[in-house]
Structure 1
């Protein structure tokens, strides 16, 4: 038999590890493992199908919960928008009322000041009229007494 180089030597068929035994055909470990585990996997198939069903139901439930949550979010947002519009309208009405109250107070203060000025003018008017009348009389008298 030809000699095989070192690195390729590991690919040579070999018997089972352990004590020296009668030389034979190398054992097919993959086929043995498959044959041994086929029964286990066959018994696990219903459980695996049940798990797949549970996972699918979970996905369906999660999708339904997401849909409901999105509907609830839209409902809450619409309610909040309506409330906000109502609050804006109330705030505007309060601001207008405060503005009217301020305007009414300013108007009342202006009318009171005008009344005080009118009263003051009426008190002083007699004195001014008397002065003007005296000055006009003096001018008229001076014009009459003067050169003709």
Structure 2
């Protein structure tokens, strides 16, 4: 007896069974879903300063500017007092004067030549560490200072 293929939508003829293939694909999909970490990435919401705000905080409105050259020369420019310069070897004699200057100012800008030895910068920062009420900004200069 001949069956009608279109009568119920299914064929009685034998063919390739896709049930086992679907089972294997389902198991693979389940394995991948479990093994992949679905946790969202964590992040920190940082409020970074813009270029304009950094120029304002360390710009020309600083009251005290201290420049350190690669030849160990220190130049001190103050709005209230006459500017002075000395060699870093004389830092011990100028220590008290420099501490008084930076303690009386609200802002201190330290301009450092890019070729300065780190030890020279550390010696100067050691003196400026005692300026507790001043905001200290450090600026790297890519040009020669004097």
Structure with the bigger percentage of strand:
2
Output the TM-score relative to the length of structure 1.
0.28
Q: Which has the higher helix share?
A: 1
- Rg comparison, structure with higher value: 1
